[in-house]
Amino acid sequence: MNRALTLLIILIATILATTAVIAAINQYILHYPSTGTVKELQIEAYLNTEPLTNGTTIDWGEVYPGESYYYENLTVVNTGTVNCRVYWLIPDLPSYLTETWDGNDVFLEPSENFSGPLTLTVAVDAPLESFSYTSYLIGEHT
């Protein structure tokens, strides 16, 4: 009985080994190496050639109702490695002020820049008070 069990185990092992060899012979394996490049969205800004770093205050000084004030150039440079759309956003601008930049909604390729005046206009009926607000220069991957 022991001999029969041994022969049965050898037979099963042979069948399994043969099946594994046949399966290996009947396989066709393809391989695909992967490569890539990590891209970066990055912009820099300059106000009349001075770096405008994150958090820098733009000081308009004393302004008067009915007048407009200018910074000659707000320049944005795409220093990243992807195309981007650039825009100027001011969610909390007081209603009696208007701030515009000619570069709003400009598309820039890497290393490209855009320069345009930054203008603040004060309404004729502006209250005589101090003001503050935050402007956001946003670069979006396109």
pTM of the model: 0.73
| Per-residue pLDDT at 94 exceeds 90 | yes
Q: Which three-class secondary structure string do you get for 62-99?
A: CCCCCCEEEEEEEEEEECCCCCEEEEEECCCCCCCEEE
The domain spans of the chain are 43-141
Task: Report the chain's mean pLDDT, rounded to a whole number.
Answer: 90
Write out pLDDT tens, residues 36-63. Answer: 888 899 999 999 999 999 999 999 999 9
With cut-offs at 50, 70 and 90, classify the pLDDT of residue 69.
very high
In CATH terms, the fold of domain 43-141 is Immunoglobulin-like (2.60.40)
